[in-house]
Amino acid sequence: MRLLTAFTLLVLWSGIAAAEAVDYSLPDLEGKTHELADYRGKWVVVNYWATWCPPCQEEIPDLVDFYERYKDKDVMVIGINYEDIGSEQLKAFVDSFMISYPIWRSKPLPLTPLGSIPGLPTTFIIDPQGTPVARQVGPITDKQLEDYIAQKKKANASR
């Protein structure tokens, strides 16, 4: 079973080639600009999503649960809305889905500072030094996030 879990994580979390810290800034729902570097020292889960995307909608409760468990510890979740949508419509969506983690906004681009977004949702994990260490294209669960970060913490601790 442990081998299957490790294999699943290898399959799910791939596509990261960056070997250095990444930083960029985006506006939130109120127009205030935030920087990824503000979260150095924490693991950061960056989730690109859109309101029209059913798999994105399905994973929101898991992301909310994960965020609520770890927001006061060493992990942060940031949702990046990746579509051209009006502010009021987006705010209404966030409220209706009870999204508690920060939402930043980005228009769809061919390439983001973290890499390509081949489909939605796409989730990146950034280590405490600001380096992208994983990318998941498609929905994720809080269990997958928890297991992956725990595995990386354990590997880092044994160095």
Q: Count CA within 13 A, CB hemisphere, residue 126.
A: 27
**What is the Cα–Cα distance from 79 to 63, expressed in whole angstroms?**
9
Percent of the chain with pLDDT over 90: 80
Max CA pair span of the chain: 48
In the DSSP assignment, the letter for residue 158 is T
pLDDT of residue 8: 43
Spatial contact of 42 and 131, defined as CB atoms under 8 Å apart: no
Kindly list the distances between the CA atom of residue 152 and the CA atoms of 22, 47, 56, 147, 158, in Å, as whole numbers in the listed order: 19, 19, 25, 9, 10
Q: What is the mean pLDDT of the chain?
A: 89
Its pTM stands at: 0.89
Res 5 pLDDT > 50: no
Residue from 53, 115, 47 nearest 77 by CA: 47
pLDDT of residue 157: 85
Spatial contact of 21 and 130, defined as CB atoms under 8 Å apart: yes
pLDDT band at 19 (very low <50, low <70, confident <90, very high): low
**What is the Cα–Cα distance from 34 to 20, expressed in whole angstroms?**
20
76 backbone dihedrals φ, ψ, rounded to 5° = -130, 145
Spatial contact of 54 and 129, defined as CB atoms under 8 Å apart: no
Spatial contact of 62 and 141, defined as CB atoms under 8 Å apart: yes
pLDDT of residue 16: 52
Domains and CATH numbers, the chain: 2-157 (3.40.30.10)
Once rounded to an integer, what is the mean pLDDT over residues 107-136?
94
**What is the Cα–Cα distance from 19 to 55, expressed in whole angstroms?**
29
